[in-house]
Amino acid sequence: MKKVITTTDQIDFTLSDLEDMPVPEKVMLVNPQYFEVKYIINPHMEGHVGSIDKQVAMEEWIRLKEAYRSLGLYVHEVPGAKEFPDMVFCANQSLPNITADGTKQVVMSVMNADQRKGEVPLIEKVYRDSSYEFSYLDEDKFQSFEGMGDAIWHFKKRLIWGGYGYRTSIDVYDMISEIFNTPVIALELTDPRFYHLDTCFCVLNEETVMIYSKAFTEEGLQLIHSMFPKVIDTNDHEAAELFACNATCPDGKNVFIQKGCTEANQAMREAGFTVHEFNTDEFLKSGGSVFCMKMLLW
Ligand code: ARG
Provide the pLDDT for residue 2. 75
* Ligand 1: lining residues by beta carbon, under 6 Å: 41-42, 45, 86, 89, 91-92, 116, 149, 196, 198-199, 286-288, 292
Length of the chain: 298
Give the position, in ligand 1's atom list, of the atom nearest the Cα of 286. Answer: 1
Q: How far is the CA of 288 from the centre of ligand 1 (A)?
A: 5
Mean pLDDT of the chain: 97
Q: How far is the CA of 174 from the centre of ligand 1 (A)?
A: 24
* Of 61, 92, 246, best ligand 1 pocket probe by most atoms within 8 Å of the beta carbon: 92
Nearest to 175 by CA among 165, 156, 197, 160: 160
Q: How far is the CA of 287 from the centre of ligand 1 (A)?
A: 6
Q: How far apart are CA 293 and CA 80, in angstroms?
A: 12
Q: How far apart are CA 7 and CA 11, in angstroms?
A: 8
Nearest to 92 by CA among 184, 28, 2: 28
In this prediction the pTM is 0.97
pLDDT at 1 over 80: no
Give me the DSSP letters along 169-222.
-TTHHHHHHHHHT-EEEEEEB--TTS-SGGGTEEE-SSSEEEE-GGGB-HHHHH
Across 66-88, average pLDDT: 98
Q: How far apart are CA 297 and CA 84, in angstroms?
A: 22
pLDDT tens string 24-41: 999 999 999 999 999 999
* Domains with residue ranges and CATH for the chain: 4-8+23-297 (3.75.10.10)
Give the position, in ligand 1's atom list, of the atom nearest the Cα of 148. Answer: 10
Contact 42, 285 (CB under 8 A): no
Q: How far is the CA of 167 from the centre of ligand 1 (A)?
A: 10
Q: How far is the CA of 61 from the centre of ligand 1 (A)?
A: 15
Helix (H, G, I), strand (E, B) or coil at 33: helix
Lowest-pLDDT range, 55-64, 131-140, 269-278? 131-140
pLDDT tens string 144-197: 999 999 999 999 999 999 999 999 999 999 999 999 999 999 999 999 999 999
pLDDT tens string 78-131: 999 999 999 999 999 999 999 999 999 999 999 999 999 999 999 999 999 888
- Whole-angstrom CA distances from 180 to 134, 188, 201, 240 are 11, 21, 21, 32
- Name the residue with the closest Cα to ligand 1, atom 10: 149
